């Protein structure tokens, strides 16, 4: 039985204009602009947590400069804190350091040093450019841990939607220059870039979802993979990774009005079956992308903050040893 949508979220959905049947497919730049405008409208500056911010760049394996934004708690001592790589969503096509600012601030205010990475986006830079940039960003964190959270035992990765996909890929890598990852936080991640329905009835059950649906996934996946990407590569579809025993403990967030709900549940089962500790938070009344709307949807902020608390509990587990 489908749970009704959260009232605050439903009001946003009802106010959205419905595109006509003959409406043109938006351009990539229009998609990016619309996403940025949506975040600014529904989570404006006044609703965001306070945090200290610093813009930097890192050099990728290809010699490309990748922008990053470092967030620290606005109050208190920002040393000996967990350090988290935050990877933004946006279907691998849209999203940037500005659209992910509310989520990164929320995580920093909870007591972490956050490094948000502005990975190269499709279609200008198809797969695996985004993967490479995120892997390079994680190695950069370990190389600079002394000036970040300063605790190699408390390093995590997190992301939402397509950023959750990339975070899962980062977490599946067997080794980092500075040691193993401590925890991962995946918010309604795209775990399977294949665009057929397959074993996921939610992809058609929620095909009318207003912020993300199966046609949007198909378009994003096609742009991301380009001509040479293999959709069955675990670097693109991390749910297809053959082995998961050494993956960091996970917090996985899923929502009810989301085509991705079933694959997120499947990944929870896969991790649990491999002996990986998993905390699963599901809110059947919310929809995909709702973290971007948390300034206007209190239930979205509550869900995200609960997941952050679970994530911090995993990151701090060494303090209890």
DSSP state of 17: P
CB of 68 within 8 A of CB of 148? no
Residues 6+ apart with CB under 8 A from 179: 142, 152, 153, 155
Alpha-carbon distances, residue 280 vs 130, 162, 237, 306 (angstroms): 26, 18, 20, 11
**Most distant CA pair in the chain, distance:** 61
* Catalytic machinery residues: 161, 258, 288
Residue by residue, DSSP assigns 47-111 as: GSPPEEEEEEEEE-TTS-EEEEEEEEESSS--SSEEEEEEE--STTTS--TTTTHHHHHHHHHTT
CB of 104 within 8 A of CB of 69? yes
**Selection from 194, 224, 38, 20 nearest residue 131 by Cα:** 224
**Selection from 180, 153, 151, 152 nearest residue 81 by Cα:** 151
């Amino acid at each position: 039985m489908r749970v009704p949508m959260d009232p605050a979220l439903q009001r946003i959905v009802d106010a959205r204009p419905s595109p006509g049947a003959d409406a043109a497919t938006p351009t990539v730049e229009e998609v990016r602009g619309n996403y940025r405008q949506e975040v600014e409208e529904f989570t404006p500056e006044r609703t965001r947590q306070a945090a200290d911010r610093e813009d930097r760049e890192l050099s990728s394996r290809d010699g490309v400069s990748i922008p990053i934004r470092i967030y620290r708690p606005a109050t208190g001592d920002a040393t000996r804190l967990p350090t988290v790589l935050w990877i933004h969503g946006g279907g691998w096509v849209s999203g940037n350091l500005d659209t992910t600012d509310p989520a990164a601030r929320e995580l920093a205010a909870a007591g972490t040093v956050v490094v948000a990475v502005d990975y190269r986006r499709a279609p200008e830079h198809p797969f695996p450019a985004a993967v490479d940039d995120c892997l390079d960003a994680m190695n950069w964190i370990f190389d600079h841990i002394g000036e970040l959270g300063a605790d190699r035992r408390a390093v995590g990765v997190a992301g939402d939607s397509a950023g959750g996909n990339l975070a899962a890929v980062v977490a599946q890598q067997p080794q980092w220059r500075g040691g193993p990852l401590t925890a991962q936080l995946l918010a309604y991640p795209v775990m399977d870039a294949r665009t057929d329905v397959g074993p996921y009835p939610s992809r058609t059950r929620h095909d009318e979802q207003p912020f993300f649906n199966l046609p949007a996934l198909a378009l994003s996946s096609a742009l991301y993979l380009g001509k040479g990407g293999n959709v069955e590569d675990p670097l693109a579809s991390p749910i297809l990774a053959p082995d998961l025993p050494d993956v960091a403990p996970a917090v996985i967030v899923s929502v009810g009005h989301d085509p991705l709900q079933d694959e997120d549940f499947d990944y929870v089962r896969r991790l649990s079956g491999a002996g990986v500790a998993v905390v699963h938070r599901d809110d059947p009344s919310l929809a995909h992308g709702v973290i971007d709307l948390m300034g206007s949807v209190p239930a979205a902020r509550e869900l995200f903050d609960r997941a952050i608390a679970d994530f911090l509990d995993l990151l701090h587990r060494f303090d209890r040893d």
